[in-house]
Chains A and B, each alone.
Chain A
Amino acid sequence: MIYSILNYLDRKGLIDRASAHCDIPCGIYDPGPALIAAVSVVRLMDIAHDGASEDPVALANLRARCTLRKEEEAEKVKQEIRVIWGDYFKAPLLEAHPNVHGLVHSIMQKASACKQDVHREDGLALVELVNEFAEIFWKTKSVQTVRKTCPYPPQLKLVYPVLAD
């Protein structure tokens, strides 16, 4: 009851806020960048396989660029997920979602597989793993999610938060 009253006053902007967060002044966590990076890995694999250019030098150049960027995007997936897992997930959240450790480990392994080779199925599996991670993340914030096809190639189903206002 008292909390509800205070919460109402807080929403009216009548209570000053202070941060007791451990990673001052950030506190901003979102799996979105990891998802975009994972989709980019698949897209770069597709472009590398496409090989539309008939000029062998141009094709080699294109594939070199794709390989380099794929490496960077896969590493970005790992970095983004590591930060959320290591900094955002505290003991109570880990107890509520005990599969997070295994899921994060799977993401690390799959992202490395994507760096090592150009198997599209690895890229798709990486996107799915990060999707699962995103669903758990938003669940910890009591935010509903929906899977929608991203409006750009490779047009895969991604997890988006359903935000109020």
Chain B
Amino acid sequence: MHPMLSPGTFALFRRSASYRDGDVLLVEHPRFGRIVKRAIDVGKEALWLEGANANSLSRETMGPIEQRLVQGKLVYQIARKK
């Protein structure tokens, strides 16, 4: 998620009844583990993910994500001082 999130950043996520396009989500991905990615094409039962970096995994690689796998959306972050 660079440059939006840099390594070592502390992030606070909050559960929500629904999510919107552009929300930065904490997801328990069945293949990639606990990851942070941006939501796109949010549907009723599933949504897609994308990274903030051109080198990120593609949405197709991460696949459609069931809403139950979303742990929360980013509400606050504290980055390491440079």
Contact = CB atoms under 8 A, between A and B. Distances in A.
Q: Is the interface of A mostly helix, strand, loop or mixed?
A: loop
Size range of the chain B interface in the assembly: 20 to 34
Interface residues of A, number: 20
A20 B9 CA distance: 10
B45 to A, nearest CB: 23
B36 A19 contact: yes
A17 B34 contact: yes
Interface string B1-30: 111010101110000000000000010000
B55 A20 contact: no
Contacts of B75: none
Interface string B37-76: 1000000000000010101110000000000000000000
Interface string A20-45: 11111100000000000000000000
Contact of B11 (A2, A18, A90): A18
Contacts of A7: 10
A89 to B, nearest CB: 11
Nearest to B26: A18
Nearest to B4: A20
Interface of A: 2-3, 6-7, 10, 15-25, 87, 90-92
Contacts of B53: 22
B10 A19 contact: no
A3 B81 contact: yes
Contacts of A87: 55
Given A2-B78, A6-B10, A90-B2, A22 B56 contact: yes
11 contacts: A6-B10, A15-B10, A18-B35, A20-B5, A20-B35, A20-B51, A21-B7, A22-B1, A23-B57, A24-B57, A25-B33
B55 to A, nearest CB: 5
Contacts of A23: 55, 57
Given A3-B10, A6-B10, A24 B35 contact: yes
B78 A19 contact: no
A19 B56 contact: no
Given A2-B78, A3-B80, A3-B81, A20 B36 contact: yes
